[in-house]
Structure 1
Amino acid sequence: MTTTPLVLGPMLRYVDAVSASVWVETRDAASVVVDAGNRSWTARTFAVHGHHYALVHVDGLHPGTATPYTVCIDGAAVWPAADSVYPASVITTLTPGAPLRLSFGSCRTSVPHDRAGNRTHGVDALRAFALQMADDDGLSWPQLMLFLGDQVYADLTSAAMQDFIRARRDIKAPPGEELADFEEYAQLYNLAWSDEANRWLLSTVPIAMIFDDHDVRDDWNSSLSWKREMEATTWWHGRIVAGLASYWVYQHLGNLSPAERAADEVWQAIAAHDGAEELDLSAMLDGFAERCDREPTTYRWSYCRDFGEDRLIVLDSRAARELDPRRRALVNEEETAWFDERMQGGFRHLVVATSLPFLLPPGLHHLEAWNEAISEGAWGRLAARVGERLRQALDLEHWAAFQRSFRRVADISTAVADGNRGAAPQTVTFISGDVHYSYVSEVERTSGSRIIQAVCSPIRNPLPILLRSFSAVLSYGVSTRLSALLSRSARVPPPPFRWSGITGPWFDNCLATLSDTPDGLRLTWVSGVVDGGDPLHPTVTERAAITVAPRTSGSGGAATENGPEPRSEA
């Protein structure tokens, strides 16, 4: 049992020009106070399955300021810790009109940062970035850090998580080493976010998140067959309810602006509570999570934010799927309509964040399109069964494997890029994770906006060597032609446009940063390296950098690289 009233956090979540949200998990029911700039803001905790949480709304701040803050629980100072070696945590409000600077990545496992952990999982790029920030006050900090899925692995658990599971149930009985309930999710998040360096980072840089499959389970919602297989087990209902309920508490709540929170049905119950006893949300949140899984159109996990002349759209590509083969879509009609409304011109850069890459290497794209076609019956029932097994075994369930959605989003993006929805932006840029390698691709166009795909994956979970070779092969010409022939043999129409790689793939643990600069959209990837034999104090090295220049009259634009060549540690 923890000896401090603060279990996890503080985490700096939604921040705008005049307000911020600070999230904490506490040991007991309590009153949480944030002090900043000679003012205080207070929130009471709410409970979920014996755990206690608060989100403190800090308002009345001044734009473009950095204000140190502290946290007290029931009058006791809990943050920063008395023995902290890190700088003061600060709330940095947005400067109106300032261009976007966003760090992003996905896929981060929670294993120790010692030599053994680094040997099996590589250096944690997030922790190396945190240490660099702590040592360099002059570093250009991001306005937002966006985690694009797999922040926790509910199905591939660490030794520490398995010890926790083993202490409370028979780990040999289903679901075995995988998570079973909210209590286990709470422990998993604690393991993921309690490292001192990362904890300081999360308290200082505004954080936003969106889930991917491993936040719940590998291949989550890949097909109707997959879903029926899961629902036939004795443990899936408990997993999906706990997964979505804990996601709302630990990840989604902090994504919401004050206005979005006020409209959120679960938050409304928290805001309306005025009883003497702490509000227990357990039953309500479980019912909400169960309904979100059963009727995904009843709740939206996606969100949209504007930063000066740049727009960020974070799109749910997991829970909002339509799995009925007659209407199969990665993003259902309601979610697509929401996305369509926000894909407008008039911005300098339109950034679409989706955990799954919209543009895969072409060879893999055609393979997934072919697999979807045969799995849905293009080659008959026997081939459909084989196709479904391949889909689940090889994770063939990205945008390419949902052709209806891929083509719809391609049409929307092209309309924006052609200037048919207001002034064409410099770029329509998709940022993604999931695939455990990084790369940049571009749609082949001679006018209008440049359409870019930038991937940063993993933060800390490297791809096995054999799968690296498979992924690299699918990035090149011969495999593209062969998989395109397969796709055509299953009567899949050709894609609405062509694209090719600008740089990559590389397989290092990385964290990427996207910056709107006068020269164009600047993208950099950094990794952590251990110098001097000290695994606990990695330094940062640049793995790749590219500037996507705006298109000029009569020119296709230019993408320039500098810094070290992208390389793998393999």
Structure 2
Amino acid sequence: METRAACLVAVRAAGRSWQARTFAVHGHHYALVEVDRLEPGTVHPYEVEIDGIRVWPEPDSAFPASVIATWTPGASIRLAFGSCRTSVPHDGPGNRVHGVDSLRAFALAVADGLEVRPDLLLFLGDQVYADSTTSEMKEFIRARRDIREEPGAELKDFEEYAHLYGLAWSDPANRWLLSTVPTAMIFDDHDIRDDWNASLDWKEKMEATSWWHERIVAGLASYWVYQHLGNLSPEERATDRMWQRVREDDAVSVDLGDALDEFAARCDRDASEYRWSYRREFDDVRLVVVDSRVARDLTPSARKLLNTRELDWFDEQLHAGPRHVLVATSLPFLLPLGLHHVEAWDEAIAQGAWGRPAARLGERLRQAVDLEHWAAFQNSFQAVARIATELADGARGPSPATITFLSGDVHYSYVAEVEREGGSRIVQAVCSPVRNPLPRFLRWFSTVMSYGPAVPLGAAAARSVKVPDPPFRWRTVMGPWFDNTLAVLQDGTDGLTMTWRTGKVEHGDHLHPRLDEVGSMTVAPTRDADLPTPPPP
């Protein structure tokens, strides 16, 4: 909860109540109420009170009761995921420029009983855009500072981040959905700034500005409050040093803004200070959510998307046991093959494979067209590919049925699969954007860079600078789709079924879009049972 002032927040459900006092950060007030000891497999409507006065559900709400649904042991998980969502009005002008918000269309379908409530909403980055602000956000910024001075219309501090999160999550339909479905999240670059930590050159340029330090501190501090606290289990929060500060006796009367800022600055300065990655277990389905931004090592001689400490942690999570392993990373691990080769080639050029002048060109190209995914960190790509292959081949014990990478970022959706003869199936599923479509000319550019002649040409270019071949080949088996979409993953007896859905406006009713299917695929344990499903006519 975020509240207007310090208070006592209580949650009431199943004839019981739980409560917590608010804590303050830069004049904003928050409460996290831990609800425990509910029976597994139960669904409980709940109410929220502030100082004894009911504030949720709102008395005039048109939505069903918000519920707390506990996990049912042995159940099949149903998970919705996606990334890249701008926060603009849901009227005609907003939809013409940004498209229909697929998250909101999904929320309305769940509320109307047309879509099954998922067990988890997984947001894979760019939940907010700190560097590309809307007219509503610009209006707020202008009211408090001169927008002609750095950083201009981009976000400056915690106060502006707090307002941006309010814009992102206060639409009634989305607010209701977030009140009734658990969430898990990870950041990507636009939560902070485009190309965040693309290279040491990029970081040094940012640190030379007058505004970057305040931006990165505010971005990480607000992310910890608005997104990351909900990623952690009660046990993990109990050992979190920043949360321990919140729980101290005097935290109710002391604003923790300075302490949180110091924590965020340490995280930016030293990637080993804190782990933003985490793991969730759903019986025999394991979800590993990977930080691919803060955890980078940008040292030119040892570039890694996951530094040594983070890679060791990831290695520990991918062991035998689950039937399905889901690896959630904001950046696609398996890009379309042509783009993969181009990014690997550019990294080698920027690192000096063709000399200093070419290195400068490679760096400019990297930052100009966002060549900074897993493929552009070959050390990390090769290491994670090895770990995934060992797990898939049974070298770490009985192999799971599937290893599925869930990602976003690229503003188009697709499914790719590693070409294998046995063992686990290794799949990449991308859902992007939730609401922020690519302009048409960039759709053409993305297609040309990713498919067709780009594959052999990119491979030849990568080999010319001695980039090692990938340890396996993969191909796109569905997509690309450029619609605004939210994907739903359902574990079933026949495998993992993934369906991409988009919002469609009918009869000019922009506030009540219907939910349409874009494409669907079942990833069965054996390829003979693979069931790609075309979209309905």
- The question of a shared fold, defined as TM-score above 0.5 by the shorter chain, is answered with yes
Please name the residue that 1:348 is paired with: 323
Which of 487, 492, 509 is the equivalent residue of 1:534? 509
The reply on whether 1:490 has 2:447 as its aligned counterpart is no
Matched-pair contact (CA < 8 Å) for 2:99–2:437: yes
The reply on whether 1:64 has 2:41 as its aligned counterpart is yes
Equivalent positions of 1:132-211 (< 5 A) are 132-136=109-113, 139-211=115-187
The reply on whether 1:438 has 2:423 as its aligned counterpart is no
Please name the residue that 1:76 is paired with: 53
Matched-pair contact (CA < 8 Å) for 1:322–1:332: yes
> What 5-or-longer segments of structure 1 have no aligned partner?
1-23
- Count of residues in Structure 1 that have an aligned counterpart in Structure 2: 537
Shift of 1:274: 4.9
Partners of 1:273 and 1:155 lie apart in 2 by 37
Partners of 1:240 and 1:519 lie apart in 2 by 45
Please name the residue that 2:360 is paired with: 385
- SS of the residue corresponding to residue 501 of structure 1 reads strand
Partners of 2:528 and 2:317 lie apart in 1 by 26
The reply on whether 1:281 has 2:281 as its aligned counterpart is no
- SS of the residue corresponding to residue 471 of structure 1 reads helix
Please name the residue that 2:532 is paired with: 561
Q: Which amino acid aligns with 2:415?
A: V
Partners of 2:499 and 2:392 lie apart in 1 by 24
Q: Which amino acid aligns with 1:300?
A: R
Q: Which amino acid aligns with 2:385?
A: A
Partners of 1:287 and 1:557 lie apart in 2 by 55
Partners of 2:490 and 2:323 lie apart in 1 by 12
The reply on whether 1:298 has 2:291 as its aligned counterpart is no
Partners of 1:139 and 1:128 lie apart in 2 by 10
Partners of 1:31 and 1:560 lie apart in 2 by 52
Shift of 1:531: 1.1
Partners of 2:462 and 2:257 lie apart in 1 by 47
Please name the residue that 2:245 is paired with: 269
Please name the residue that 1:358 is paired with: 333
The reply on whether 1:339 has 2:310 as its aligned counterpart is no
Partners of 1:433 and 1:80 lie apart in 2 by 32
Shift of 1:490: 1.3
Partners of 1:267 and 1:126 lie apart in 2 by 30
Partners of 1:407 and 1:85 lie apart in 2 by 51
Shift of 1:476: 2.2
Equivalent positions of 1:223-242 (< 5 A) are 223-242=199-218
Please name the residue that 2:519 is paired with: 544
Deviation per residue, 1:332-390 (Å, 9 max, x gap): 00000000001012211100000000000000000000000000100100000011110
Please name the residue that 1:5 is paired with: none
Which of 82, 86, 103 is the equivalent residue of 2:63? 86
Matched-pair contact (CA < 8 Å) for 2:106–2:115: no
Partners of 2:353 and 2:529 lie apart in 1 by 41
Shift of 1:560: 1.6
Please name the residue that 1:243 is paired with: 219
Q: Which amino acid aligns with 1:293?
A: D
- SS of the residue corresponding to residue 495 of structure 1 reads coil
Partners of 1:477 and 1:498 lie apart in 2 by 15
Partners of 1:139 and 1:129 lie apart in 2 by 7
Q: Which amino acid aligns with 1:43?
A: A
Partners of 1:523 and 1:247 lie apart in 2 by 28
Please name the residue that 2:452 is paired with: 477
Shift of 1:279: 3.4
Deviation per residue, 1:204-244 (Å, 9 max, x gap): 00011000000000000000000000000000000000000
Shift of 1:95: 0.8
Q: Which amino acid aligns with 2:499?
A: T
Matched-pair contact (CA < 8 Å) for 2:517–2:536: no
Partners of 1:565 and 1:390 lie apart in 2 by 40
Which of 284, 288, 299 is the equivalent residue of 1:309? 284
Q: What is the alpha-carbon root mean square deviation over aligned residues?
A: 1.1
Q: Which amino acid aligns with 1:77?
A: R
Matched-pair contact (CA < 8 Å) for 1:270–1:279: no
Matched-pair contact (CA < 8 Å) for 2:40–2:73: yes
Please name the residue that 2:236 is paired with: 260
Q: Which amino acid aligns with 1:201?
A: L
The reply on whether 1:414 has 2:385 as its aligned counterpart is no
Shift of 1:478: 1.2
Shift of 1:327: 1.2
- SS of the residue corresponding to residue 103 of structure 1 reads strand
The reply on whether 1:501 has 2:472 as its aligned counterpart is no
Which of 171, 188, 191 is the equivalent residue of 1:215? 191
Aligned sequence identity (%): 66
Partners of 1:445 and 1:208 lie apart in 2 by 31
